[in-house]
A = this chain, B = another copy of it.
Amino acid sequence: MSIKYENLDTLKAFKELRAVETSVDLKEELTRERILRYSAPAGGGLTYNYAAKAVNDEIVGILQKLSDEQQLVAKYKEVLNGEFINTGENRKVLHHLTRGQLGSDVTFEDKNLRDFYVEQQNRIREFSSKVHKGEIKGSTGKQLDTVVQIGIGGSDLGPRAMYLALENIYDVEMEGHFISNVDPDDANAVLGRLNFETTLFVLVSKSGTTQETLANRNFVLEKTRQAHIHGFNPSKHMVAVTSETSPLAGSDEYLDSFYMDDFIGGRYSSTSAVGGVVLSLAFGSEVFDQFLAGANDADRAALELDLRKNAALMDAMIGVYERNILGYGQTAVLPYSQALSRFPAHLQQMDMESNGKSVNRRGEPLNYQTGPVIFGEPGTNGQHSFYQLLHQGTDIVPLQFIGFKDSQIPFDLDYEGSTSQQKLKANLVAQIVAFAKGKEDKNSNKNFAGQRPSSLIYGLQLTARSLGALLAHFENKVLFQGFVWNVNSFDQEGVQLGKVLAKQVLAGGDAMDEALKAFSDLLEI
């Protein structure tokens, strides 16, 4: 099959979708039969339920045609097989390969890249095991019990969200911390809490030139120096995660270096060494292996052509329907699990940085909307916060609920006839139904219009495996949507201009743009 990259609005199925006249009345149609039927496996033990989305069999049928016509699964296979999908930067897109071989062998410059990723995993496994066993100790002879990731963007958000998601269900071998912002208050605050003698820093920058990260490395080195610890050698307390060609690679300044490459985008790097080092050190490499296995399982589930059996594809296509037909501009991600407190922030990057684009893969301007704004907070907290607007505001915001049957920590208590976990789940279910069905009230201030669509991803428990699947589900959803919109989901040219201008400000001088200079004066830079 030859692969064609076409704009959404040129597709026959999209015209058909635009012409659909039926609509779904969730008040009437949200039956048990529908709830059982509108369900797709997401891999890793997760299930995606879309019964409370405003789609029906007719719409789903056309979404299937659209998926087929836009060759979404075939394009996904191109990714898996190592095609240069990231056209702007002429790069392969290989985060799937970090967690398993699903397509043909991928080689680059005579190197089998699956072997390369596995080699790094093995090196991480061995390294973290030595640290845990005390075979590698701090420079003053103490057991290393704390790991601090220094990185920003994809080197921070994903690994941090994953760490928080797992810290309460597994034995913590090493307590994790994160330094990301160039704001000196960030590094100062974290460093103030550490015992340097027992701390291992993980410096993460693919290029080895990320300004914020290098400034924070500098901070760490100076702070450890100023601590005047007898016999302390900072090079024995820092490892680098970078590309093999970066200035950080293999430097004597680091205890060791672990590698990813240009084919792993920052926002897709949690399953590479970027997530692997910190998570293996924190929880042990067995936990990280389960995380990879879960992601791989979801990647496999995304190969299915029938979107009724492919959760990521269905999620993607319903999102396109909501964005381009119903005109909704944002999506709220609402995990009913406190452990997922930073998962929405990670998805915010993954989705918005991937598909927040206005030109297609050939650089031509698009005539339709692409990626939505993503935001979210854990339930039940969000219920006491922004749900008011979601229920009764003037805009409809599509919702993605996430829930689990069991809590991570087994201890629970009955209070007024139910446990906390039961209350948590009851609230989740109640919200889905409240948003969908609403409630009429003669007092219009107490009236709920309903018809506010939501989906639910659920599983037995949030473990490393289901977390991996959850992550990969959203990665693949975003990938499919990028192909539907015909954008390059894997570059981020939009971040460049700010970097260039910030350098101009720091360089100073008369050549600076008038507005830059005037604002710089206000802030006394």
Contact = CB atoms under 8 A, between A and B. Distances in A.
A415 B185 CA distance: 16
Interface string A428-450: 11111110111100011111110
A385 B348 contact: yes
Nearest first, the 9 A-B pairs at minimum CB distance are: A356-B389, A153-B384, A430-B501, A356-B393, A375-B375, A391-B494, A349-B385, A392-B494, A352-B386
A434 to B, nearest CB: 4
A36 interface: yes
Interface residues of A, number: 153
A439 B494 CA distance: 11
A142 to B, nearest CB: 22
Interface in A135-157: 152-154, 156-157
A422 interface: yes
Contacts of A222: 413
Interface in A12-35: 30-32, 35
A513 to B, nearest CB: 6
Contact of A515 (B388, B437, B498): B437
A385 B153 contact: yes
A152 B380 contact: yes
B352 A516 contact: no
B422 A392 contact: no
A515 to B, nearest CB: 4
Find the residue from A154, A168, A502 having the highest chain B CB count within 10 A. Answer: A502
Interface string A454-479: 00101000000000000000000000
A212 interface: yes
17 contacts: A31-B515, A49-B519, A152-B384, A153-B381, A218-B413, A348-B385, A349-B386, A352-B386, A352-B389, A387-B494, A392-B493, A422-B506, A429-B502, A430-B505, A432-B519, A434-B501, A445-B488
A492 interface: yes
Interface stretch (A98-106, A227-235, A282-290, A332-340): A332-340
Q: Which of A167, A425, A515 has the most CB of B within 10 A?
A: A515
B215 A423 contact: yes
Which residue, of A395, A456, A519, has the highest number of chain B Cβ atoms within 10 A? A519
A162 interface: no
Given A363-B445, A438-B497, A495-B383, A32 B345 contact: no
Given A31-B514, A384-B266, A407-B185, A357 B433 contact: no
Contacts of A513: 433, 437
A357 B495 CA distance: 35
Contacts of A493: 392, 445-446
Given A181-B378, A357-B392, A387-B494, 16 more contacts: A30-B514, A49-B519, A168-B185, A183-B380, A184-B420, A186-B338, A189-B409, A212-B384, A219-B420, A373-B373, A387-B498, A388-B495, A427-B498, A429-B505, A434-B501, A437-B513
A411 interface: yes
Contacts of A363: 443-445
B384 A370 contact: no
A118 interface: no
A509 interface: no
Contacts of A388: 352-353, 356-357, 492, 494-495
A26 to B, nearest CB: 9
Contact of A425 (B32, B214, B421, B525): B525
A439 B349 CA distance: 23
A516 B431 CA distance: 9
A63 interface: no
B35 A519 contact: yes
Nearest to A33: B518
A495 B390 CA distance: 10
Given A329-B329, A388-B352, A426-B525, A212 B515 contact: no
Nearest to A408: B185
Interface string A286-304: 0000000000000000000
Interface in A308-357: 329-330, 336-339, 345, 348-349, 352-353, 355-357
Contact of A392 (B212, B356, B386, B424): B356
A119 interface: no
Contacts of A504: 430
A152 B383 CA distance: 9
A241 interface: no
Contacts of A32: 514-515, 517-518
